[in-house]
Amino acid sequence: MPALGHYPTMAAEQRNYIDGEWTEAETEETMTVTNPASPAEVVASYQSSSAADAARAIEAAAGAADEWAATPAPERGQILTETSRILADRKDELTELLVREEGKTTGEAGGEVQRAIDIFSYYGAKASDLGGTVKSASGPRTNLYTVTEPLGVVGLITPWNYPIAIPAWKLAPALVTGNAAVLKPASEAPGVAHAIFEALDEAGLPDGAANFVTGSGSTVGTELVTSEEVDAISFTGSTAVGTTVYDQATEDGKRVQLEMGGKNPTIVSDSADVEEAAEIVASGAFGVTGQACTACSRAIVHTDIYDEFVDAVAAEADAIEPGPGIEGSDMGPHVSEDELEGTLEYIDIAQEDGASLVAGGNELDREGYYVEPTVFADVEPSMRLAQEEVFGPVLAVLEVEDFEDALEVANGVDYGLSASIVTDNHTEANRFIDEIEAGVAKVNAKTTGLELHVPFGGMKGSSSETWREQGDEGLEFYTIEKTVYDNY
């Protein structure tokens, strides 16, 4: 790892960013973030903000909204492009910070930081193309066209599992379309989101156009969701919390975008190469410690290759060496003790329900929040392990008789975020694309991994099914269209 330029040598106290100033919370209280690979190590402390702090940030955004909206879009884009450059200069430092706060491996963290860099660059370039459309009027001497306008003030609530990529893909389209924003990051790993605001400030973002407030969801998040000054909410997190956010936000007519949980399947056809399928499934299931909303949680495997696949995917799991991400390990720790305990509880439940443990299943006897990559066979579709989101490196392998049965099992959950199939049968691949109930469908690929210039979102309990994120659709959520009839 190259020498660091900005990273503090001692645990630092980080502040909120409100109206262009780094400020302490009125509570005068802070919360500490520790390294999940070494829980005794305090990485940094952050403000434990009150509802009043959140209200000040909202007020700052409301005060800046009109001027920021009036700023030419290419000028807004230049600020995002410069933000991308600043983040790129700090990539090594931010990668290490992400590893130390969230627990990813260095490779995973570096890829995520690069995604944030690329997102700001992408939307910075898109700024020059923003605008409406011109249509032909049915009568003479009439110009008929549309213009797009920002919504005003947007509240952004982001999770800990992608602590820089998700803030980036909400902030960049919100800002480039002329909205003022308030971001509340998850308390487990807010450091890299804090760094985004350092970069925005250095890039010349006007005071109040973007604000950063740390604190609990029940306090800061609720203030964002219920404030009359906030015009829209974009939330990523659990389905349980997202449902509450939706109910509260829509009560006063806010526009709402929700991206929530998943129970993502990979169907393995009898035509698949078993070793290749096992590699694809294992990568999707155990990458980022299974702490991804798009992680593969269920392998749905044709009976003719079931036993061979179970052996192969168990071998993949056994070959993974968990350990501190900073040391080049294959898989990092859970982000917190609570998350680890949740995963261990599901491992116990699966065994009580009659599933067969074929790999892993044990907490590691070492410092940090580690569990072995875990594979269960003989899982029935009705078992909790096959129905509920675990959010850890635990794979359920289900046996099916044919492709029809596989589709039924894949769709037989409350979620519909990402799904994949491994097959050499072109008909199966096309039927899968047509019939799978998921917002992301992949053929011969893992369920994780997203391109930034195409829409992302789920179906059923994985999404509000209202607005997509990323790409051009990521811009649409933050704008409203006005139709103009200009008779001359």
Closest listed residue to residue 187, CA positions, set 79, 101, 271, 264:
101
Residues contacting 315, CB < 8 A, separation 6+: 278, 359
Give the count of beta carbons closer than 10 Å to the beta carbon of residue 27.
14
How many Å apart are CA 477 and CA 39, to the nearest integer?
39
Residue type, 277: A
Locate 344 and state its tokens.
């261990």
Which residues have a Cβ under 8 Å from the Cβ of 232 and sit 6 or more positions away? 151, 152, 153, 154, 155, 179, 254, 255, 256, 257, 477, 478
93 is catalytic: no
DSSP label at residue 331? B
Report the run of H or E that residue 374 belongs to, with start and end. Answer: strand 374-377
Report d(CA 178, CA 33) in Å as an integer. 33
The 3-class secondary structure across 19-77, one letter per residue, is: CCEEECCCCCCEEEEEECCEEEEEEEEEECCCHHHHHHHHHHHHHHHHHHHHCCHHHHH
Q: In the 8-state DSSP scheme, what is residue 152?
A: S
161: number of Cβ within 10 Å: 26
- What span, in angstroms and rounded, lies between the C-alpha atoms of 162 and 158? 8
Q: Which of 82, 259, 389, 399 is catalytic?
A: 259
Nearest to 255 by CA among 393, 153, 134: 153
Phi, psi of 78 (to 5 degrees): -65, -35
Q: Cα separations (Å) of 344 from 26, 294, 347, 363, 439?
A: 38, 20, 5, 8, 29
3-state secondary structure of 325: helix
**Catalytic residue numbers?**
259
